[in-house]
Structure 1
Amino acid sequence: MATAVETLDKLERRITISFPISEVQSEVEKRLKVRARTAKAPGFRPGKVPMKMVAAQYGYQVETEVLNDKVGQAFSVAANENKLRVAGYPKIEPKNAEGAVEGSLTFDATFEIYPEFVVGDLSAAEVEQVKTEVSDAEIDKTIDILRKQRVHFHTKGEQGAHGDGGEPVAQDGDRATLDFVGKIDGVEFAGGKADDFAFVLGEGRMLPEFEAATLGLKSGESKTFPLAFPEDYHGKDVAGKTAEFTITLKKLEWAHLPEVDAEFAKSLGVEDGDLAKMRADIKENLEREVNGRVKAKTKDSVMDALVKAVEFDVPKALVEQDGQRLAEMTRQDMAQRGMNVKDVPFPPELFTAQAERRVRLGLILAELVKANNLQATAEQIKAQVEDFAQSYEDPQQVVKYYYSDRNRLAEVEALVLEENVVNYVLGKSKVTDKVLPFDELMGNNAQ
């Protein structure tokens, strides 16, 4: 039996559930008899253990199971009868003696319900739709990067098939191999000594003073110089201190970048070495990457607009659950990166704002999909999978990979559904086109 639903707050409700003690006792006895068929005890054959011993061993556990089942069933029936959309899990507490019914077990179930809301007129919602062009300049930059990835080095000053690299002195772009030793107050320190250490000048791998001292040296030459470690240097033992380094340049090589020719095109997978086809392939790959990033930025703008346009109270239970998920995901991510987070606390409260936004957007998207039939179709899912597959060497294998696992396919379905929502909102809202430079979109401003 359940009482009428009490409203405690905007979304918080309470139902009082009660059922006769005799029902619980009867069910407990029934389950104990089932247990008795296989129960074991010293001195007794299986199934021949006296009921008193079975009750003593399993009684508390079985009674707890029965109570949980009874309360769960009663709550479910009450929620269905009252057409309640329960958010999260109810908090079940025994009713105090004053409110209890004689001969019955009585519990209060306190819970939250999903908010009732509609996504109204979106014509005033402002959305930025990002656009980025892939020009010949971006293709040229990409080719330069690909050339640098295929660089090979030759001893500087020695004549070879590609030349001698110019004067045999260390310059930016050269690869220097050297021995070095560093001392602080005349004493060598851990990590301050190495033999045959190689690095490319100008890449910023070494501290500026170290690179500056190497520039201009010839093979076999040595140099001693002071080096001040920054206060925030990762090596805490030397951070903020000044060391004296002695370096000896043992080998100097110049960087030879491959020519942009048929052989270069073949190394990128263009079988006939056609340079025009190579540029077309590079452009296609860049446009695919740009398209993905542009969609992501536009989607973010749409989601921001929806959060501003639709107001309602969010169930705290759902926010707490999502906060816990985010905390655990963060812990796992950091552990996978090799960080020791075993004893590091991850309070879900740190993720409350993010969790609330995620829950709010999830509810808004669900309402939009339901109200406007924006579900992902089988054709859309297939097209999305095939689009993913195009960037791989064996597209058909990628397609099989997704269709062989329902969970993977569900992830694709969720992406398509979001895209349907984005397209719907773009068609209903106030859209402003924002042209974003290629480097800014790709995060290459520093280059």
Structure 2
Amino acid sequence: MQVTTEAVSGVARRLNVSVPTSRINEQFEARLKRTAKTAKINGFRKGKIPLNVVRREFGASVYQEVVNDIIRDTVFEAIQQEKINAVGMPNIEKVENKEDALVYEATVEVYPEVEVKAFDGLEVERQTSEIKDKDVDQMIENLRKQRQTWATTKGMAKKDMQVTFDFEGSIDGEKFEGGAAQDFKLVLGAGQMIPGFEDGIVGMKTGEEKVIDVTFPADYQAENLAGKEAQFKINVKLVEKPKLPEIDAAFFEIFGLTEDQGIDKLKADVRKNMEREVKNGLRNQVKAATFDALVAANDIEVPNAMLAQEIDRLRQQMIQQFTQQFGEQGAKAFDASLLPDDLFKEQAERSVKLGVLVSTVLANAKLEVDPTRVEAYIDEMSSSYEDPTEVIEYFKNDAQQRSQIEAVILEDQVVDHILSTAKVTEKAVSYEDLLKEQQARQQQG
């Protein structure tokens, strides 16, 4: 077999393959004999059909099968012979039977070969943050709000109050689907309804009726309502104000504390958890900033096969998230095939480029996972559980879980390696802003 290779692009190679006719004929004759043993032709007993008859009846189809199989086998032999780091399946073109050989072309995408630019040209902003007493106090207040109850009030509905009401909507006097509900509960200020709806309820009291005018947003998901002016008849049945639990023995007990341990121990525990969040948040922030700078500084041609695989992975990830949120029945009603590739393309391209760059940095720097950092990461992660020892044993002994942790640590090591020579500036941010940024990154994927 003879093979020549030429570059079609930075991520594609064309192989010109020539397979001797003798190899084809040898396999053709062997398969023809096997076919003769099992073929059925009227007038002949099974296994007793003359070979020339089998050749006449089945020769063309058997020969095509042999050609297809030889192309399938030899294309991978050629890829291996030429030491091509292939990505995805090869595309076979221009198959031709010549007198002495079967020749064909095969185009295959290859793993990108990149030369990562020097890190001293990268500019990375590293955030810093510290927990202040007011942050701890606000967190305890949030814990109280999470456990708040509701108390009936005869006063006017205000922001943060819960209102139970009936509503009926209409456009130009005509009711529309989904525009009515009974005993609907709404916390004012939550932003759950279209703009103007909650504002119209503010100031109403129990037993009061009112018609409010609102306009659906121009980009509203229901196209028949988008941009339309509507009227909603509101009938308020109940107005409730929030009632926060007292910071007392019962409140301490929720968190496994005694009254003697009290507020000081609660604050200490809360601060410890917040410090863990800050540490993780800062790690994620500087990693994202470093990788963003790395991708921006290195232009990479992405193979379509790698892009398609990543798009499919992101699509499956969305399906899993949908299942977790809406359950199996909801997921079955969710047709993933309707999600266009363009929805994931930008994120997929960045992910593929970043994967190639990180792999290259790892290889160039000869970085290997630091077992000490892995152990420290597991210890830190398990400290938030009631039984840290059990969690530590789980992560240390479960190969898949440990592999995922090692991948995280390797990424951290790549970040440290890059930052050792990059231009790093520091910016102090509040605890609240740090968490908001982290939540935004998670939503973006």
Give the TM-score category using the shorter length: 0.7 to 0.9
Amino acid in structure 1 at the alignment position of 2:279: N
2:410 matched residue in structure 1: 417
The percentage of counterpart residues that share the same residue type is: 31
Structure 2 matches for 1:339-418, cutoff 5 A? 340-341=334-335, 344=338, 346-347=340-341, 354-395=347-388, 398-399=391-392, 402=395, 406-418=399-411
Amino acid in structure 2 at the alignment position of 1:431: V
Given that 2:157 and 2:201 are in contact with CA atoms closer than 8 Å, whether structure 1 keeps it comes out as yes
Shift of 1:293: 2.3
Whole-angstrom distance in 2 between the partners of 1:393 and 1:265: 17
Say what the alpha-carbon RMSD is for the aligned residues.
4.0
Q: For residues 128 and 57 of structure 1, do their structure 2 counterparts lie closer, same or farther at Cα, with a shift above 3 Å needed? A: same
Amino acid in structure 2 at the alignment position of 1:415: V
Deviations 1:236-284 (A, max 9, x none): 555523325141x433333210122332232134466532222222222
Amino acid in structure 2 at the alignment position of 1:304: D
1:443 matched residue in structure 2: 436
1:76 matched residue in structure 2: 80
Whole-angstrom distance in 2 between the partners of 1:275 and 1:35: 86
> 236, 250, 256: which one pairs with 2:243?
256
Q: For residues 362 and 186 of structure 1, do their structure 2 counterparts lie closer, same or farther at Cα, with a shift above 3 Å needed? A: closer
2:104 matched residue in structure 1: 107
SS at match of 1:428: coil
Aligned residues: 420
Given that 2:166 and 2:237 are in contact with CA atoms closer than 8 Å, whether structure 1 keeps it comes out as yes
Given that 1:122 and 1:309 are in contact with CA atoms closer than 8 Å, whether structure 2 keeps it comes out as no
2:325 matched residue in structure 1: none
Whole-angstrom distance in 2 between the partners of 1:69 and 1:445: 49
1:19 matched residue in structure 2: 19
1:224 matched residue in structure 2: 210
The structure whose residues are more often helix, as a share, is: 2
Whole-angstrom distance in 2 between the partners of 1:257 and 1:270: 19
> 101, 118, 125: which one pairs with 1:128?
125
Shift of 1:400: 5.8
> 272, 286, 291: which one pairs with 1:284?
272
Whole-angstrom distance in 2 between the partners of 1:208 and 1:7: 57
1:164 matched residue in structure 2: none
Whole-angstrom distance in 1 between the partners of 2:357 and 2:411: 11
TM-score by length of 2: 0.77
1:161 matched residue in structure 2: none
Task: Using the TM superposition, name which of 61-70 and 182-191 deviates more.
Answer: 182-191
Whole-angstrom distance in 2 between the partners of 1:411 and 1:328: 20
Given that 2:169 and 2:230 are in contact with CA atoms closer than 8 Å, whether structure 1 keeps it comes out as no
Amino acid in structure 1 at the alignment position of 2:210: T
Amino acid in structure 2 at the alignment position of 1:418: E
Structure 2: gaps spanning 5 or more residues: 323-329, 440-445
SS at match of 1:227: strand
Deviations 1:407-430 (A, max 9, x none): 444332222111111011111222
Task: Using the TM superposition, name which of 272-281 and 394-403 deviates more.
Answer: 394-403
Q: For residues 207 and 112 of structure 1, do their structure 2 counterparts lie closer, same or farther at Cα, with a shift above 3 Å needed? A: closer
SS at match of 2:434: helix
Structure 2 matches for 1:120-199, cutoff 5 A? 121-156=118-153, 168-183=155-170, 188-199=175-186
TM-score by length of 1: 0.77
Given that 2:307 and 2:352 are in contact with CA atoms closer than 8 Å, whether structure 1 keeps it comes out as no
Q: For residues 302 and 188 of structure 1, do their structure 2 counterparts lie closer, same or farther at Cα, with a shift above 3 Å needed? A: closer
Given that 2:152 and 2:240 are in contact with CA atoms closer than 8 Å, whether structure 1 keeps it comes out as yes
Given that 1:172 and 1:200 are in contact with CA atoms closer than 8 Å, whether structure 2 keeps it comes out as yes
Whole-angstrom distance in 2 between the partners of 1:445 and 1:400: 29
Q: For residues 193 and 56 of structure 1, do their structure 2 counterparts lie closer, same or farther at Cα, with a shift above 3 Å needed? A: same
Structure 1: gaps spanning 5 or more residues: 157-166
SS at match of 2:2: coil
2:316 pairs with 1:332 = yes
SS at match of 1:425: helix
Whole-angstrom distance in 1 between the partners of 2:31 and 2:374: 48
Shift of 1:389: 3.5
